[in-house]
């Protein structure tokens, strides 16, 4: 690997679209030392030479409708790391096609002879999805696996019989990528009915990186934890009724003040908010807010519900020591309304939203 130090390998264009976005996750982890930190955290290794890591990416394209986040080779492993805010059950299919293209490129670049009598040595594939969407993973777990074989048409529909029960998705709390099932040689050499074992498999290992999940992994990779904190603060701001752009900007400023991704955010601040606006799945939050509003009994009084929601947000911002003028700007709200709430909060710091609302109605 020494002769490849410091280089990037690239495959040819695949399914090219002119417009694509460079995800914030990809931008953060596109630095070798930071990416190696993440690799070590997942695999519980302690490699310290970032120059051993070789980026192995698809050049300037969206692949199958999505630009891959980070792909690289290190210590004989070919790794594809993707960030997802919406869980996609077809990730193993995309992984299969992606790895096929990568191996094709690897074979050509290394002048390997697939028609020779000697068994070739190929880098070991690892496919990891970092998920931070609104909806929880199955059973609110930290980790699940998605399998290509779950997409295959049932063998019974092809008039093949099998007694094998359908496999359920693998769900566990936290499994390192290095925990890979490798069948023993006896099992590999034992014949089995064609209907029970497909000749292809691709496993996508999905980690929930919403703040509070996979805490052991976060403890091993501080950068991943700080990314999770940033996204979590944006989510919290949006839930509190702050429009997306000021919610993102406020979260970025707060993180800089608290030393969260500070150097990165200062360096790329002009780009980061724009990237977050493109990535943030506002539709999911709108659905969630509607669901929460329904559960809270506000569906019959939308105007009243909106007023109470704004009151709650203003109250929260007061508790975070956000000046009244800034609060009004963030919410695009009437200054008088904000000032009245702030005055009551100053006079009665222990009051609840309901107490403040009752006082406003009496005025």
Q: Which residues touch 110 (CB under 8 Å, ≥6 apart)? A: none
Cβ atoms of 37 and 223 closer than 8 Å: yes
276: phi > 0 → left, psi -120 to 50 → alpha, else beta; which? alpha
pLDDT band at 9 (very low <50, low <70, confident <90, very high): low
Cβ atoms of 283 and 307 closer than 8 Å: no
**pLDDT at residue 213 is higher than 90:** yes
Which H or E run includes 39? helix 32-43
pLDDT of residue 215: 94
What average pLDDT does this structure show over 312-335? 78
What average pLDDT does this structure show over 54-73? 64
**pLDDT at residue 3 is higher than 80:** no
Residue with tokens 């659905």: 287
pLDDT band at 64 (very low <50, low <70, confident <90, very high): very low
Euclidean distance between CA atoms 276 and 320, whole angstroms: 23
pLDDT of residue 309: 77
pLDDT band at 149 (very low <50, low <70, confident <90, very high): very high
The per-residue pLDDT for range 151-195, each reduced to its tens digit, is 998 755 544 444 444 454 444 444 455 544 444 555 555 655 556
Task: Assign 286 to helix, strand or coil.
Answer: helix
pLDDT of residue 263: 93
Task: Assign 9 to helix, strand or coil.
Answer: strand
In this structure, the dihedral spanned by the alpha carbons of residues 188, 193, 196 and 201, taken in order and rounded to 10 degrees, is 40
- Domain coordinates in residue numbering, the chain: 2-181+193-218, 221-283, 309-363
Strand ordering across the sheet containing 124-131: 8-11, 54-58, 70-74, 77-84, 124-131, 203-208, 143-147, 171-172
Quick one: tokens of 293?
A: 């509003």
Task: Please state the three-class secondary structure of 98-130 as a single string.
Answer: HHHHHHHHHHHHCCCCCCCCCCCCCCEEEEEEE
pLDDT of residue 189: 59
The per-residue pLDDT for range 223-244, each reduced to its tens digit, is 999 999 999 998 888 888 788 7
pLDDT of residue 113: 94
The per-residue pLDDT for range 118-145, each reduced to its tens digit, is 999 999 999 999 998 888 888 889 999 9
């Amino acid at each position: 690997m020494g002769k490849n130090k410091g280089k990037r390998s690239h495959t040819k264009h695949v399914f090219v679209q002119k417009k694509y976005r460079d995800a914030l996750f990809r931008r953060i982890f596109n630095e070798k030392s930071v990416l190696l930190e993440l690799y070590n955290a997942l695999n519980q290794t302690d490699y310290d030479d970032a120059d051993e890591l070789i980026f192995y990416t698809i050049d300037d394209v969206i692949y199958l409708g999505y630009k891959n986040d980070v792909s690289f080779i290190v210590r004989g492993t070919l790794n594809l790391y993707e960030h997802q805010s919406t869980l996609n059950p077809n990730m193993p299919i995309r992984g299969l096609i992606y790895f096929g293209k990568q191996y094709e490129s690897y074979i050509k670049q290394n002048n390997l002879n697939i028609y020779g009598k000697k068994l070739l040595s190929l880098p070991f594939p690892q496919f990891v999805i970092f998920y931070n969407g609104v909806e929880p993973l199955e059973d609110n777990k930290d980790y699940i696996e998605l399998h290509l074989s779950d997409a295959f048409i049932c063998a019974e529909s092809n008039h093949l019989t099998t007694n094998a029960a359908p496999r359920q998705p693998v769900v566990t709390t936290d499994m390192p990528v290095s925990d890979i099932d490798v069948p023993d040689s006896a099992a590999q050499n034992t014949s089995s009915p064609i209907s029970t074992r497909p000749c292809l498999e691709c496993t996508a290992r999905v980690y929930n990186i919403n703040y509070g999940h996979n805490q052991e992994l976060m403890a091993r990779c501080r950068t991943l934890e700080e990314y999770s904190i940033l996204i979590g603060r944006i989510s919290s701001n949006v839930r509190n009724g702050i429009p997306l752009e000021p919610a993102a900007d406020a979260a970025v400023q707060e993180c800089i003040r608290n030393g969260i991704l500070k150097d990165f955010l200062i360096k790329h601040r002009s780009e980061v908010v724009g990237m977050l606006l493109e990535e943030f799945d506002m539709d999911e939050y709108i659905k969630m807010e509607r669901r929460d509003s329904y559960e809270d009994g506000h569906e019959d009084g939308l105007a009243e519900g909106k007023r109470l929601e704004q009151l709650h947000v203003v109250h929260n911002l007061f508790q975070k020591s956000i000046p009244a003028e800034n609060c009004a700007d963030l919410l695009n709200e009437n200054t008088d309304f904000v000032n009245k709430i702030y005055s009551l909060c100053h006079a009665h710091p222990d009051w609840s939203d309901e107490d403040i609302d009752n006082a406003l109605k009496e005025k």
